[in-house]
């Protein structure tokens, strides 16, 4: 007998035997929606409903085992696309309803009269025994094919498409493209080639039978299709705490104020434990996150809760760096023996932490006056200003205030009961503690952990040491001089740049190195160096703007006046020497007034 797989319904015990699990585990999977289920009336010995599970919703391996054990039952070929395109939605619903009633009757263990009396009373229906027997006869003789229950009494070929196959194929090819052509345009184009075709309404009705996923794939595109696919509901009951941590970044939907008085949207990076949904570590900052932030967040979690077996991340550039590559023997993951699992690219639903960010926005971000909304349309009226104007709004919290409230919220989230998958109404803290393994891997030396989760760069050794962030690092004992000209690895803690550790290419420690220039007030971290570098860059840029332009006639400005003064004095000297003064031997005449005399005498003294 050929039976469609979707028409075979099994008891909880039968499914448990097929999957080699307990009935309790099957019922838990039913509660999470992992299987397609139906409920039948239990008439007679016990009241209430019994669960029936569709064989088609079980894994292919379980289906294969079932058919190998039931050779008298073979899966029938059932074309879902053809079934949906041939019959109207109303016809399909009526047939599915009849099938449901038949299965309820079969599983009730009652005679038709007793079954219908109770079923009609509970569902306010008036199904007769004659109708039930007719439905059962058609269903059985067709090999349990739901199409046998389609009602075709209202006219010839009711529900059968009247569109010729070649005409529909042409229309379908024009309609199912990413150009998203309208149905009317496609109909008009087809009608030019095939004049004798059914009405536009007939085509439009058939369009409604095209599966939604087909519409998304061929009219919306591959990305929309992939994003819309049902994502796997992961069964977390088999995981223990610290088995898998999940990480991601999130740009918050609110504004805070930094020390300079500017407003910005903070970035949040978290690690969550998949089994318990507990937040294991978080980092919030103004700048966009990077690999260093991920490693810092991981380190904070490990310091408190131990080392996870695996981490689950997306495929972002910062998560794909060498520092998080398990194949890189110097990476933090390799040194801590942590496996890495990557999520499906461009599929946000594939990361469990996405659900936390949704809760985070709803339960935390919206508490603030400076909440912006998920997009511009949702932005509150008092926040519909530029960031420059919003900087004057004293109601916007400081970054320090936001961090303190965020820490309190994380503690609140971890200690609040959840109704999610596998939580059973317990808090993340409780579920985490209940599912911890007997052995927890830990790093007892925080300095070692800081270095492992720090940064690693390669530098060439010069006579004065190694250069890092516009500063020179060297060791006190002179060990580094043996490696002048060689390339070495520098491992450092970004939060403490007062000391770095230098290794050879085989991973052997050479020495500790300290900076040549020290801060006299406090320890220096990587951000200080980066910030100082940015400030130097700004000053250099400003200096360039004030750089003077060289004059083309600079010599005229510098020496031109001297030449003119010299010419004037020379002319004055020549004019004075040409003056003739007449004096007789007998009697000197009265001295004649000479306006150039004093000037001439003065000039002679100056000229030597």
Task: Provide the CATH topology of domain 165-228.
Answer: Arc Repressor Mutant, subunit A (1.10.10)
- For helices 89-108 and 129-141, the axis angle rounded to 10 degrees is 100
594 pLDDT above the threshold of 80: no
Determine which of 28-32, 79-83, 103-107, 483-487 has the lowest per-residue pLDDT on average: 79-83
Q: How far apart are CA 571 and CA 266, in angstroms?
A: 79
Provide the mean pLDDT of the chain: 80
Q: Where exactly are the structural domains of the chain? A: 2-149, 165-228, 236-434, 455-545, 566-607
Most confident option among 275-289, 446-460, 468-482, 558-572:
275-289
515 pLDDT above the threshold of 60: yes
Q: What is the CATH number of domain 236-434?
A: 3.30.420.10
Same fold, 165-228 and 236-434: no
* Percent share of the chain, pLDDT over 90: 26
> How does pLDDT run across 227-274, given as a tens digit for each residue?
665 544 456 777 899 999 999 999 999 999 999 999 999 999 999 999
Looking at residue 58, its pLDDT comes to: 75
184 pLDDT above the threshold of 70: yes
The answer to whether 356 touches 274, Cβ cutoff 8 Å, is: no
The answer to whether 43 touches 109, Cβ cutoff 8 Å, is: yes
175 pLDDT above the threshold of 90: yes
Looking at residue 109, its pLDDT comes to: 72
Determine which of 74-78, 114-118, 240-244, 478-482 has the lowest per-residue pLDDT on average: 74-78
Residues 6+ apart with CB under 8 A from 517: 471, 472
What is the average pLDDT across 174-189? 92
Decide which of 556 and 288 is more confident: 288
Q: How far apart are CA 595 and CA 462, in angstroms?
A: 77
Most confident option among 8-12, 31-35, 345-349:
8-12
Looking at residue 5, its pLDDT comes to: 55
Determine which of 286-295, 501-510, 524-533 has the lowest per-residue pLDDT on average: 524-533
Following CA atoms 403, 406, 408, 410 in sequence, which dihedral angle do they give, to the nearest 10 degrees? -140
Looking at residue 461, its pLDDT comes to: 92
Among candidates 442, 430, 441, 439, which has minimal Cα distance to 275?
A: 430
The strand pairing partners of 490, in sequence order, are 457, 502
CA 80 to chain centre: 35
> How does pLDDT run across 563-573, given as a tens digit for each residue?
677 777 777 77
Residues 6+ apart with CB under 8 A from 195: none
Q: Tell if the pTM clears 0.85, that is, is over it.
A: no
> How does pLDDT run across 457-482, given as a tens digit for each residue?
899 999 888 998 878 898 878 888 88
Looking at residue 201, its pLDDT comes to: 86
Task: Provide the CATH topology of domain 455-545.
Answer: SH3 type barrels. (2.30.30)
Looking at residue 29, its pLDDT comes to: 80
Looking at residue 582, its pLDDT comes to: 46
Q: What is the CATH number of domain 2-149?
A: 1.10.10.10
> How does pLDDT run across 293-343, given as a tens digit for each residue?
999 999 999 999 999 999 988 878 888 888 888 888 888 898 899 998 877
């Amino acid at each position: 007998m050929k039976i469609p797989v979707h028409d075979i319904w099994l008891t909880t015990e039968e499914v448990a035997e097929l999957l080699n699990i307990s009935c309790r585990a099957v019922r838990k999977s039913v509660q999470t929606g992992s299987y397609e289920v139906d409920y039948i009336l239990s008439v007679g010995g016990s009241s209430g409903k019994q669960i029936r599970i569709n064989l088609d919703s079980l894994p292919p391996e379980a289906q294969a085992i079932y058919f190998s054990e039931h050779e008298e039952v073979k899966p029938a070929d059932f074309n879902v696309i053809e079934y949906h395109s041939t019959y109207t939605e109303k016809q399909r619903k009526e047939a599915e309803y009849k099938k449901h009633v038949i299965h309820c009757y079969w599983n009730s263990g009652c005679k038709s009269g007793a079954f219908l009396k109770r079923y009609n009373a509970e569902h306010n229906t008036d199904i007769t025994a004659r109708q039930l027997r007719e439905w059962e006869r058609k269903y059985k003789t067709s090999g349990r094919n739901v199409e046998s229950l389609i009602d075709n009494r209202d006219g010839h070929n009711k529900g059968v498409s009247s569109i010729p196959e070649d005409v529909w194929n042409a229309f379908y090819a024009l309609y199912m493209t990413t150009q998203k052509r309208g149905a009317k345009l496609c109909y008009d184009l087809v009608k030019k080639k095939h004049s004798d075709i059914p009405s536009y309404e007939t085509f439009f009705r058939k369009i409604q039978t095209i599966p939604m996923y087909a519409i998304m794939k061929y009219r919306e595109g591959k990305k929309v299709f992939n994003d819309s696919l049902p994502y796997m509901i992961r069964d977390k009951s088999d995981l223990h705490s610290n088995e898998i941590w999940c990480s991601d970044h999130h740009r918050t939907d609110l504004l805070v104020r930094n020390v300079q008085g500017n407003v910005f949207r903070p970035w949040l990076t978290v690690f969550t434990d998949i089994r318990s949904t507990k937040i294991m570590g978080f980092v919030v900052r103004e700048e966009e996150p990077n690999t260093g932030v991920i490693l810092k967040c991981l380190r904070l979690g490990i310091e408190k809760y131990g080392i996870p077996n695996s981490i689950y991340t997306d495929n972002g550039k910062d998560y794909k760096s060498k520092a998080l590559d398990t194949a890189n023997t110097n990476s933090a993951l390799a040194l801590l023996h942590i496996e890495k699992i990557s999520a499906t690219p461009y599929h946000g639903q594939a990361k469990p932490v996405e659900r936390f960010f949704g809760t985070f926005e709803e339960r935390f971000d919206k508490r603030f006056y400076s909440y912006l909304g998920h997009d511009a349309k949702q932005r509150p009226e008092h926040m519909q200003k530029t960031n420059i104007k919003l900087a004057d709004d004293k109601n916007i919290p400081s970054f320090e205030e936001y961090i303190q409230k965020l820490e309190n919220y994380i503690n609140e989230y971890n200690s609040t009961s959840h109704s999610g998958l596998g939580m059973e109404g317990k808090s993340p803290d409780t579920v985490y503690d209940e599912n911890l393994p007997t052995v927890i891997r830990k790093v007892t030396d925080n300095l070692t952990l800081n270095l492992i989760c720090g940064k690693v760069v390669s530098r060439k050794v010069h006579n004065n040491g190694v250069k890092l962030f516009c500063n020179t690092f060297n060791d006190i004992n002179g060990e580094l001089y043996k490696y002048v000209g060689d390339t070495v690895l520098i491992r450092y803690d970004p939060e403490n740049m007062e000391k770095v550790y230098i290794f050879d290419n085989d991973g052997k420690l050479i020495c500790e190195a300290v900076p040549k220039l020290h801060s006299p007030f406090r320890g220096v971290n990587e951000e200080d160096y980066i910030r100082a570098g940015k400030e130097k860059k700004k000053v250099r840029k400003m200096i360039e703007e004030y750089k003077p332009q060289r004059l083309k006639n600079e010599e005229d400005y510098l020496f031109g006046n001297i030449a003119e003064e010299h010419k004037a004095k020379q002319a004055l000297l020549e004019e004075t020497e040409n003056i003739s003064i007449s004096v007789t031997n007998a009697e000197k005449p009265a001295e004649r007034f000479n306006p150039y005399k004093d000037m001439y005498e003065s000039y002679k003294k100056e000229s030597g």
